[in-house]
Structure 1
């Protein structure tokens, strides 16, 4: 037996956890590692912020999620995405660290691979995780993803100090090659799902029938499909008696059959997208996930760069921002899972409480930036630094809890769709979350360069109030975890 087969996980959470961990490395690389490196070389805030545009593949993952579901299968897409990640990291080992264009192309390749991987892994998680374990599953997802970000940020920064740029990215490429071999040999996702696709379809139809009070007990549940699925079945069952045809006739019949299959797949992709956009609560959920990270990410990304300008060294930032803050964020994500494990917990109440704590942290950072930027007389600079670092730590802790609760809410509402559309629904909502972070993060540098750091942090605080307004008016009916 091959050596890697012994590494096949006994638990789907372990399998999913490792995939989420390696998926988080590119984000930490782009969020913590690369900006500090480029800013230390004197690159302007606006140019550093423009690197956020390289997250564009994450914005598009909601569009290609149905394609991944319909064409090829999750296992093939997962292996292909890991190969892209390995190739991008290997390319990074061959470029110069001050070549901004080459670094950008490397980051684009890493984001493309991790975005495709995210769709495949999220679909697998929705398949194997039951409702009463959603809080635990999302705790694992967020925590190990942030550990991956920690590896990609502070971890690679420490490795760079000990070795070289080329060695750092060669190590990263080797990690992705190992994961590719493991994922290609593991069938955990297919073998450990607690419910077959037929049973999931039966459960979904039973839920729909209970809500509409229709009598469906006399029907074969596994034969109930969406209109596009019915068309697909008709196409797939279409038979041609090739014995009555000559060779040309047989080829023509085969071509017609293949065309019918492709048409049915295209129709199925459209039907999935239609169900996703008309699902219950999609409007307010989209508004929340689009806004809830804007102000937070702006403060988290730019406070360390502000401290770098005020005399902090890269090593100090690697410790406080890359290690301590990231560790607190991981702890917050874990604690968020503990909170959500309570019976009949309302996800909305958890989000409101900790969004208030987050707002207080950002307001504190506004005060610190004002005191240090305006050189207010009589202010002890050391106290301002302590207050700024403390606010960074508390913001990271609160954001960890909010992330776990938000992703649990997203996955909970994706379960309201039919089984064939759940992964696409989750991917569309998750891409909106990335869009919210990307849009403002890309513009924040321009605002800082033209309006100053003080005005920019006032905007961060204002943006942190908007999710609170949405949370106070959103319906609570879909925000409870079923037990």
Structure 2
């Protein structure tokens, strides 16, 4: 009996984990594989950075999250997004690998539909995870998402080397189609229906609810359509849905702690992403082969990032853990690593090392990437747990939208600077840019130090 109960409790986490894994594949494809390929073809840093604009659908996630919540329901949106991801990947099998514009269009489609999928899965996580499992749930989220990035980066690169471009993307399409079929038969699919206020109709002077516990959902929806059609309530119902959307957005803005957390998540990845995206390109320019860089940056560093996320989950699972202390500790460590990377760039550019000493730059650069990836994993798990903890303070119908808004702000911070970093490098040089990365890595620390302690508690008092 205990074993069955344990399996039953683990099933929602397994479901969340697989859904987060498949939505991480497009990001891994774009973040770990495409930039190195473009730079190896001789494109400027600014042109490589410009590809980050394709992540803009994730920035808009907070705006259409209330629409997903109100219209159609999460279950319908989840299946639609998975099928659309499969179709997009299958279309990619017909693309010429040397056509950058076609690859960009495919990546944009994958980003749009994976962002929609993320809204529905975040809403599910907020609904089924109790307070004492937020750390574990966010560990599953971050770790499996990063494994998806690993599959989309190193995994698809390895498959491409063994097969061909069409086979690689047909395989990816099959993964999404399989997930759509599997999701259509989930036993927890009832949790994917958003909770909304039930409309009431008057009949013979009495007030009665349209819905009841005994009436199937599809019958309720059919009866509601008939009633509104006969009584001319279509327009008022449509207006009511728009009012509900704006009501959700209002609740998102007025949730306590939103301003503090929005400021933090906007800043906390800026310097880190600039360093972690451009240090590989720097050591590539210093003569390290693409194969070696793909192994270290695409496999080892991603594995260390996953290990850091696991460790973050273990730390947060302990009683009386302070998220604020964890974030300050590892953000300070991250600041030291970015300063070290700045020193590595200075070592090569200012001291004019000879070719026989370039191996030193390669080794130090790879070491810094490994350490930065590990600390990034810990910080990501702690930050997303904090985001989910604050989102739980919203009313139930606004929680998913609040969390999606915070996630959009986080992506906006990363995207804004990741897009501009290449232009800054081309204009001012690598050394000054890494000095800027160092300054940006210090800003989240200032926000964390001044952030109220009550926002960083794992459990409610």
**Match among 307, 317, 329 for residue 353 of structure 1:** 329
Q: How many residues align?
A: 432
Task: State the superposition RMSD in angstroms.
Answer: 2.2
Q: State the 1:376 CA deviation.
A: 3.0
Tell me the CA shift for residue 375 of structure 1: 4.5
Deviations 1:263-287 (A, max 9, x none): 2111111111001001101111100
Tell whether the 8 Å contact from 1:132 to 1:482 is kept in structure 2 after alignment.
yes
Determine whether 1:411 maps to 2:388.
yes
CA separation of 1:185 and 1:366: change in aligned 2, threshold 3 A: same
Tell me which residue corresponds to 2:399: 422
Indicate the residue corresponding to 2:300 in structure 1. 324
Q: Distance in 1 between matches of 2:17 and 2:189?
A: 12
Pair 1:433 & 2:419 matched:
no
Provide the TM-score with structure 2 as the length reference: 0.90
Offset of residue 42 of structure 1: 1.6
Provide the rounded CA distance (Å) in 2 between the counterparts of 1:69 and 1:59.
17
CA distance in 2, matches of 1:304, 1:53: 20
Other-structure match for 1:237: 201
Structure 2 alignment gaps of length 5 or more: 1-7, 206-225
Corresponding position of 1:212: none
Distance 1:174 1:240 in 2: 55
Q: Where does residue 310 of structure 2 map in the other structure?
A: 334
Matched residue, 1:23: 23
Alpha-carbon contact 1:9-1:15 (below 8 Å) kept:
no
1:301 paired with 2:301, answer: no
Counterpart of 1:219 in structure 2 is none
C-alpha deviation, 1:373, in angstroms: 2.9
* Structure 1 match to 2:320: 344
Q: Distance in 1 between matches of 2:245 and 2:194?
A: 18
Provide the rounded CA distance (Å) in 2 between the counterparts of 1:26 and 1:324: 19
In structure 2, the residue matched to 1:315 is: 291
Which residue number corresponds to residue 399 of structure 1? 376
Q: Distance in 2 between the 1:48 and 1:454 partners?
A: 18
Unaligned runs of 5+ in 1: 1-7, 199-224, 242-249
State which of 238, 253, 266 in structure 2 corresponds to 1:277.
253
Query: Contact 1:368–1:385 at 8 Å: present in 2 too?
Result: no
Q: Contact 1:20–1:145 at 8 Å: present in 2 too? A: yes
1:99 CA displacement: 0.8
Cα separation, partners in 2 of 1:452 and 1:239, compared to 1, 3 Å: farther
Residue 447 (structure 1) aligned with residue 411 (structure 2) = no
The CA deviation at 1:253 is: 6.2
* Secondary structure class of the residue paired with 2:456: coil
Structure 1 residue 61: deviation in Å? 0.8
Aligned positions of 1:198-277 closer than 5 A: 229=197, 233=199, 236-238=200-202, 254=230, 256-277=232-253
**Which residue is equivalent to 2:66?**
66
